[in-house]
Amino acid sequence: MSDRKPITAFLGQEMIFFDGGMGTMLQSAGLKAGELPELLNLRQPEIITDIHRQYYDAGCHVVTTNTFGANRGKMEAAGYSVEEIVTAAINCAVAAREASDTPEKKYIAMDIGPIGRLIEPMGDLSFEEAYDVFAEMAVSGEKAGADLAIIETMGATYEVKAAVLAVKENTSLPVFVTCTFDERGKLFTGADVAAVVALLEGLRVDAMGMNCGLGPDELYPVIRQMASLSSLPLLFSPNAGLPKQKDGVTYYDVAPSDYARSMRRAASLGLCAMGGCCGTTPEHIREMIARCGDVKPALPADKGITMISSYTHAVTIGQEPLIVGERINPTGKKRFKEALKANDISYILGEGIAQQDAGAQILDVNVGMPGIDEPAVLEQTVKKLQGVLDLPLQIDTSHPEAMERALRAYNGKPLINSVSGKEESMRAVFPLVKKYGGTVVGLALDDTGIPATAEERVAVAAKIISVAAEYGIDKKDIVIDGLTLTVSAEPEAAKVTLETIRRVKQELGVCTTLGVSNVSFGLPRREMINAAFYTAALTAGLDCGIINPKSEAMMNAYYSYRALSGFDEGCGDYIARYSASMDDATAAKSAVSSGMTLKAAIVAGLGEQAAALVREALSGENPPAPMTLIQEELIPALNEVGEGFEKGTVFLPQLLMSAEAAKAAFDVLKELLAGDGSEQKLGRVILATVKDDIHDIGKNIVKVLLENYRFDVLDLGRDVPPEVILENVRKHHIKAVGLSALMTTTVVRMAETIALLRKEAPEVRIFVGGAVLTEEYAMQIGADAYCRDAMASVRYCRKIFDC
């Protein structure tokens, strides 16, 4: 071991200078387009060593190894192992360091670049696979003698998270992370600066910043924004300007002296480290050091901002009241429990999206109920939710394993619900908060139970904050739940809760939350009490109200409070919401009074109206049997639209609108039928987009239509391997499988899937569809039927199920 101080000891003490571009230098050394730069570490190490030497000579403290793309995929394709390439790369840097004048002050950063594939759900690489790729690089780097890891040029938050966890869990290297922003201040995957800051602070990296993409002037507003939000040290390594092209070669034209001047301006924002990326050379770095060497860096002040994030944006708690949607929770919800038991993820996603549309800014996610594998289901639910919506999630569980798996899978910095003042709870939860990042809800109760007075609850909250600090969790990452008890059982309950909220805000200076709806258990017209209590709590200083955003009364209270408390400038939001001419509910009522038939509403694709008409029909004096409504109104409507579609008088969007209207009507019936066993499905069908194909819109259209015709659809998703389809056919005794493929390349996978099913499950019927398929080709690959559109799939399934 050397007596070199850890690089982190210099943060805030003196400006740390990183090197400049490697690619640019390799190009001038003769690297051709298409050649893998990492192979030079082995083939021509003297070139790499010389580049590092030039940077050390220019005055850099840190050089970055030539390992940007030294990941498993690329290296193995070239016939090398990651370890041999990384070791060779580090040896090059070590050789340059030993030849430098003060090797004890020189550092080697193991460079880790993006894999070049997107992680699910945006792409097809799994989070775990990405983690393994990065772990292999980091472990090889540490073993070969790197002093720190730099994860750089990142364009996706999920990939950043996989890389940071891989380095931290498998090595003891300090971690610096820089992402690549565009001029709008966004990553490729849409994350803004605040979302990146929240994530990286949560993951407790040693320094964060940005590199590549643009030049120092174009990135100046972006790094300035990062400096205003981050409580961690910043590293800034832009390009030598915007990329330009000449004769097929990309080049950058900001001169060393101009680069140095621009970097000096950026340094005054409070940087702790700086370097360069594409187009920068030892000359750029030398001039930069000459101009910025006297800048005294300072560790950034703790901004004290309570911030959580999704993969696109951050939400700041404590500025204005926020709505946490409470509906993803099985407690007291028969329909939700059924969906969980049946693994009906689309119902849960629908609840999430509906709450976002209704105004939720954060979604609580709780799937705890007896008889399910909570860790697996919670992890899966978090992954699926972040595939369809971009709200930060509040991970709600008392199961430590479920919490850890969900935190690991979450793409951002979540709210975590919850820890309490109980010793056991704090011991289980705080290490997870520390490791994965998050803002945690602290319940003001402890081993002695729920305190009866506000005084005692504030004391428990104070204890939670102080124990958290022992784990290195700042109080800005604690949100105290003052505990809502049922007022019908405990007359003083609401008063104590409100008092707790007020005092926690004032005396402890932390943010607050409440599960508002608990207050009204056992009372009639619960919404009235809930809304009044919500308003009172907001007045007392409630930051995060866990409520039902689909409740009109609650949203009325929310919008009114914002208007009255100066959060809604010019009452703009209030006016926008309440001055609208006719809302859906009014339209639905008018459908009922206008005498429109259910069949007509479905044919016209009017969902709200169809649902209202079903409610109306069933609330009359002599309500029809639900099956009568289905047979006499719904099915004939669907048939009429379906026939029109096949004749070409009804088009796809109209067909789907009718399907959705029918679904809205079915959903009303389903609520009434839930559990009484009279809801019968016609038969179970598997749908899947075949392996290697990530296009699923066609399959999703078929799904909507089949469900409409009461088929029980098991949707296996996209990019589904043949074996998984077979396994599900066996497990669920499936009679029909629908396969979709978009591209000529993936039709080959379809053929393989059919061959496997024919061999192992010869009784199953297979129907296929997709843009490049034809009847002839479908027969050639052994399908039972070619379905040119969704209605053809319905017709085929009705035929084989004889219905």
Partner 1 sequence: MTDRQCNSFIGDVDVREVLRYAGVKNADLCGEDIRQSALRAIREVGETASPRHIACECTLLTEENCCVIDGISIVSRDLAAHLQGCEKVLLFAATLGSSVDLLIARYSAVRMSYAVLLQAAAAAMTEQYCDNVCQTLEASYQKEGCWLKPRYSPGYGDFSLESQTILLDRLNAYKYAGITVSGGGQMTPMKSVSAVIGITRQRQRGQNGSCASGKCANCSHTTCAFRRT
| Cα gap 585→531, rounded to integer Å | 20
660 near partner 1, judged by CB under 8 A:
yes
Structure tokens at 214: 């643009």
In the complex, minimum distance from the CB of residue 15 to partner 1, in angstroms, rounded to a whole number? 28
Is 437 a residue that touches partner 1 (CB under 8 A)?
A: no
Stretch that binds partner 1, among 266-274, 383-391, 560-568, 635-643 (CB under 8 A): 383-391
Candidate list 15, 444, 701, 766; residue touching partner 1; CB under 8 A: 701
Question: Between residues 124 and 401, which has the closer beta carbon with respect to partner 1?
Answer: 124
* 667: contact with partner 1 by CB under 8 A: no
The reply on whether position 78 binds partner 1 by CB under 8 A is: no
DSSP strand pairing (314-317 vs 306-309): antiparallel
* DSSP secondary structure code for residue 683 in this structure: -
- 758: nearest Cα among 784, 794, 796: 784
Q: Is 510 exposed, middle or buried (0-12, 13-18, 19+ CB in 10 A)?
A: buried
> Strands 785-786 and 736-740: what pairing?
unpaired
Q: Which of 1, 2, 3, 33 binds partner 1 (CB under 8 A)?
A: 33
Q: Is 387 in the site for partner 1 (CB under 8 A)?
A: yes
The site string for partner 1 over 441-480 (x = CB under 8 A, - otherwise) reads ----------------------------------------
CA 176 vs CA 189, 236, 736: distances in Å = 20, 11, 52
Asked if 652 interacts with partner 1 (CB under 8 A), we say: yes
Alpha helices (runs of H) in 145-280, residue ranges in sequence order? 157-170, 193-202, 216-229, 256-267
Asked if 221 touches partner 1 (CB under 8 A), the answer is: no
Which CB sits closer to partner 1, 310 or 513? 310
Q: Which stretch binds partner 1 (CB under 8 A): 111-119, 287-295, 513-521, 589-597?
A: 111-119
- Binding residue (CB under 8 A) for partner 1 from 674, 697, 779, 803: 697
- The beta-strand segments (E) located in 74-222 are 107-112, 148-154, 175-179, 207-211
Closest CA to 113 of 88, 97, 129, 130: 130
Continuous H helices in 440-593:
454-470, 493-503, 526-540, 552-564, 572-578, 584-593
List C-alpha distances in Å: 281 to 15, 32, 271, 278: 19, 18, 21, 9
Rule CB under 8 A: say whether 118 interacts with partner 1. yes
Asked if residue 475 lies in contact with residue 469, where contact means CB atoms within 8 angstroms, the answer is yes
Tell me: does residue 504 bind partner 1 (CB under 8 A). Answer: no
Distance, CA of 136 to CA of 269 (rounded, Å): 36
Least separation, in Å, of the C-beta of 591 and partner 1?
Answer: 15
Q: Coil, strand or helix: which one is 101? A: coil
d(CA 641, CA 490): 56
659 touches partner 1 by CB under 8 A: yes
Q: Does 114 contact partner 1 by CB under 8 A?
A: yes
Q: Is 245 in the site for partner 1 (CB under 8 A)?
A: yes
H helix runs in 604-650, sequence order: 607-619, 626-629, 635-647
Q: Is 412 in the site for partner 1 (CB under 8 A)?
A: no
DSSP string, 283-307: HHHHHHHHHHTT----PPPP---EE
Non-local CB neighbours of 3 within 8 Å, separated by 6+ positions? 104
Nearer to partner 1, 413 or 699 (CB): 699
Does 124 engage in binding with partner 1 (CB under 8 A)? Answer: yes
Q: Which of 565, 745, 775, 779 touches partner 1 (CB under 8 A)?
A: 745
- The yes or no reply on residue 152 touching partner 1 (CB under 8 A) is no
Which tokens go with 132?
A: 């393994």
Least gap, CB of 365 to partner 1 (angstroms): 15
Single out the residue of 99, 592, 743, 800 in contact with partner 1 (rule: CB under 8 A): 743
CA nearest neighbour of 480 among 512, 440, 439, 433: 512
Site for partner 1 in 772-791 (CB under 8 A): none
Assess 89 for contact with partner 1 (CB under 8 A).
Answer: no
Token output for 329: 């929770």
600 is an interface residue for partner 1 by CB under 8 A: no
Answer for the pair 248, 261: CB distance below 8 angstroms, yes or no. no
Q: Does 188 bind partner 1 (CB under 8 A)?
A: yes
- Nearest residue to 150 via CA among 130, 167, 128, 133: 167
Q: Does 153 bind partner 1 (CB under 8 A)?
A: yes
Residue 690 has which token pair? 């075949």
656 makes contact with partner 1 (CB under 8 A): yes
Binding mask 335-364 for partner 1 (x = CB under 8 A): -----------x--xx--xx----------
- Answer for which of 53, 61, 286, 691 binds partner 1 (CB under 8 A) is 691
Using CB under 8 A, count the residues that bind partner 1. Answer: 65
- Least distance (Å) from partner 1 to the CB of residue 498? 37
Q: Quick one: CA dihedral 740, 744, 749, 751, positive or negative?
A: positive
Binds partner 1 by CB under 8 A, chosen from 331, 343, 744, 780: 744
* Position 653 contacts partner 1 (CB under 8 A): yes
Q: By CB under 8 A, is residue 322 in contact with partner 1?
A: no
Instruction: Single out the residue of 95, 704, 756, 761 in contact with partner 1 (rule: CB under 8 A).
Output: 704
Here the tokens at position 528 are 């009235």
| Among positions 6, 12, 103, 121, the unique one binding partner 1 when judged by CB under 8 A | 121
Q: Does 580 bind partner 1 (CB under 8 A)?
A: no
Alpha-carbon span 781 to 775, nearest angstrom: 10
Q: Which residues contact 476 (CB under 8 A, 6 or more apart)?
A: 302, 304, 305, 306, 439, 510
682 touching partner 1, by CB under 8 A: no
Q: Token pair for residue 533?
A: 């209590």
Q: Smallest gap, in angstroms, from Cβ of residue 299 to partner 1?
A: 32
Q: Is the peptide bond before 121 cis (omega within 30 degrees of 0)?
A: yes
- Check binding of 243 to partner 1 (CB under 8 A): yes
Determine which residue in the list 672, 694, 724, 756 makes contact with partner 1, applying CB under 8 A. Answer: 694
- Whichever of 448 and 774 has its CB closer to partner 1, that residue is 774
Task: Choose, by CB under 8 A, the member of 692, 712, 752, 784 that binds partner 1.
Answer: 692
The minimum distance between CB 356 and partner 1, in angstroms, equals: 9
- Per CB under 8 A, 636 contacts partner 1: no
Indicate whether 644 belongs to the interface with partner 1 (CB under 8 A).
no
Chain residues in the site for partner 1 (CB under 8 A): 32-34, 114, 116-118, 121-125, 153, 155, 182-184, 186, 188-190, 212, 242-243, 245, 247-248, 250, 312, 346, 349-350, 353-354, 387-390, 605, 648-649, 651-654, 656-657, 659-660, 691-697, 700-701, 704, 719, 743-746, 749
